[in-house]
């Protein structure tokens, strides 16, 4: 995936054309695909915002006044703003263009991400950024606090074991069913894998050497959100999860390349890699077949469901984290706290 020119590394006069191309390639290869997609979306949004708000293209470097106006426009609810408010007029135009969802104050995380991308664009172009100015940093911190809200769960419900069993029951005997069963089981039983981690797996990342003798399948992730290349420990699948993955490898005739691939309507396995969005569609499809609302859970429900089930079964949090690869004990503890507090005897003091 090649990113748009505005956030490619700046041209260095001392570099030859060949070296400049190598530097650009390094930036692309060294940036996760999800980050590249976020960069592109943010660049489109910020560009459209300035064109509408100021009637001009982005400047490199951008002015502090423009950066501050961006923060102010996205630090308040515009639903009650007067019709003459330039921020309201800009927001309505962005909504009409499909770039903004509503006049409500955007989530602090959304504003943070767009500002971080904007800052990254400046750094890639080797330019000073107005977003590093003390006043801008302070305004950003105030905006974050003013718009603070309880974090929304990434999945409406965790996919605990009983829910997972309902989804697996919809997987019958087609190649697509075999693939989906393997994806759901691997995604859940290996610690709750993220979509990009599942679709990024290659056949070469899976070791089946101990399956016949011990029923074990070893998985090597290149990197995750919390680990880097060369530091990600191997994960293990056993029991039904290992059997489901081996069955998919056999049925799908996976001998090299991506581990999970699209399956055509004619139930033929295609050659290309399955996209992360496909995992979202698979979960929705299986929820529907199981008689559950399609918005009951998202793919992140596999991750939250694994940790929630680990807490329900009394598994030590450190053991669960060795598979989930959570870097923060406090983050993983949230799933345990949700379970523990419901079972806490102190909640029944009133009878």
pLDDT digits (tens, 9 = 90+) for 279-302: 999 999 999 999 999 889 999 999
**Res. 254: pLDDT tops 60:** yes
DSSP structural state of residue 238: E
What letters, b where the CB count within 10 A reaches 16 and e where it falls short, cover 69-88?
A: bbbebbbbebeeeeeeeebb
The CATH class, in words, for 5-146 is: mainly alpha
The tokens describing 286, both together, are 């299986």
Q: Please state the domain extents for the chain.
A: 5-146, 161-345
- Determine the straight-line distance between the first and last CA of the chain, rounded to whole angstroms: 60
| Residue 36: pLDDT band with limits 50, 70, 90 | confident
The tokens describing 342, both together, are 């419901």
For 317-344, how does the pLDDT look when each residue is reduced to its tens digit (9 = 90+)? Answer: 898 898 888 888 888 888 877 776 666 6
How high is the pLDDT of residue 13?
60
| Residue 74: pLDDT band with limits 50, 70, 90 | very high
| Residue 185: pLDDT band with limits 50, 70, 90 | very high
- What pTM was estimated for this model as a whole? 0.64
Residue 39 · residue 91 · CB < 8 Å: no
| 219/209 Cα distance (integer angstroms) | 11
Place of tokens 């469901």: 305
Residues 58-62, mean pLDDT to the nearest whole number = 90
How high is the pLDDT of residue 33?
76
| Residue 228: pLDDT band with limits 50, 70, 90 | low
The CA angle 308-311-317, to the nearest 5 degrees, is: 110
Poorest-pLDDT segment among 7-11, 124-128, 157-161, 311-315 = 7-11
Q: In 10 A of CB 238, how many CB atoms? A: 14
**Res. 192: pLDDT tops 50:** yes
How high is the pLDDT of residue 140?
85
| Residue 31: pLDDT band with limits 50, 70, 90 | confident
Do domains 5-146 and 161-345 share one topology? The answer is no
For 104-152, how does the pLDDT look when each residue is reduced to its tens digit (9 = 90+)? Answer: 988 888 888 999 999 988 888 888 888 888 988 898 888 888 876 666 6
Residue 59 · residue 66 · CB < 8 Å: yes
The CA angle 318-168-181, to the nearest 5 degrees, is: 80
How high is the pLDDT of residue 12?
57
**Res. 89: pLDDT tops 90:** yes
User: For the domain 161-345, what is the CATH code?
Assistant: 1.10.443.10
Residue 92 · residue 134 · CB < 8 Å: no
Residue 31 · residue 50 · CB < 8 Å: no
How high is the pLDDT of residue 72?
92
Task: Classify residue 301 as exposed, middle or buried by CB count within 10 Å of its CB (0-12, 13-18, 19+).
Answer: buried
Which among 290, 346, 314 is positioned nearest to 168, based on CA atoms? 290
**Res. 225: pLDDT tops 70:** no
| 34/117 Cα distance (integer angstroms) | 13
| 146/177 Cα distance (integer angstroms) | 47
Q: In 10 A of CB 171, how many CB atoms? A: 20
Residue 113 · residue 38 · CB < 8 Å: yes
Give 82-99 as a DSSP string: -TT-HHHHHHHHHHHTTS
Mean pLDDT of the chain: 86
How high is the pLDDT of residue 278?
94
Cis amide bond preceding 44, omega within 30: no
**Res. 248: pLDDT tops 90:** yes
Q: What does the chain come to in residues?
A: 351
The CA angle 91-3-263, to the nearest 5 degrees, is: 95
Residue 262 · residue 276 · CB < 8 Å: no
Q: In 10 A of CB 138, how many CB atoms? A: 10
């Amino acid at each position: 995936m090649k990113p748009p020119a505005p956030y490619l590394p700046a041209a260095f006069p001392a570099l030859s054309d060949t070296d400049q191309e190598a530097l650009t390639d390094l930036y692309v290869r060294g940036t996760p695909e999800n980050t590249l997609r976020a960069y592109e979306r943010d660049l489109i949004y910020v560009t459209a915002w300035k064109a509408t708000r100021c009637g001009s293209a982005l400047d490199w470097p951008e002015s502090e006044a423009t950066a501050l106006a961006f923060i102010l426009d996205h630090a308040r609810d515009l639903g009650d703003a007067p019709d003459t408010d330039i921020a309201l007029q800009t927001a309505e135009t962005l909504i009409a263009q499909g770039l903004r969802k509503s006049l409500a104050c955007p989530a602090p995380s959304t504003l943070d991400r767009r500002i971080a991308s904007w800052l990254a664009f400046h750094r890639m172009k080797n330019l000073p950024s107005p977003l590093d100015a003390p006043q801008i940093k302070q305004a950003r911190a105030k905006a974050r606090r003013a718009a603070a809200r309880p974090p929304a769960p990434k999945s409406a419900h965790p996919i605990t074991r009983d829910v997972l069993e309902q989804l697996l029951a919809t997987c019958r005997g087609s190649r697509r069913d075999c693939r989906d069963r393997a994806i759901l089981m691997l995604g859940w039983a290996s610690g709750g894998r993220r979509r990009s981690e599942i679709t990024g797996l290659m056949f070469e990342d899976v070791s089946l050497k101990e399956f016949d003798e011990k029923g074990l399948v070893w998985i090597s992730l290149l990197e995750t959100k919390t680990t880097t290349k060369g530091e990600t420990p191997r994960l293990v699948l056993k029991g039904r999860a290992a059997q489901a993955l081996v069955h998919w490898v056999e049925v799908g005739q996976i001998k090299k390349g991506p581990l999970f691939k699209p399956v055509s309507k004619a139930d033929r396995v295609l050659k290309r890699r399955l996209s992360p969005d496909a995992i979202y569609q698979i979960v929705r499809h299986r929820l529907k077949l199981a008689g559950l609302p399609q918005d009951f859970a998202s793919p992140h429900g596999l991750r939250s469901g694994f940790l929630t089930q680990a807490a329900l079964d009394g598994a030590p949090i450190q053991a669960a984290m060795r598979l989930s690869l959570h870097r923060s004990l406090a983050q993983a503890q949230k799933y345990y706290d949700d379970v523990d507090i419901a079972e806490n005897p102190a909640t029944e003091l009133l009878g």
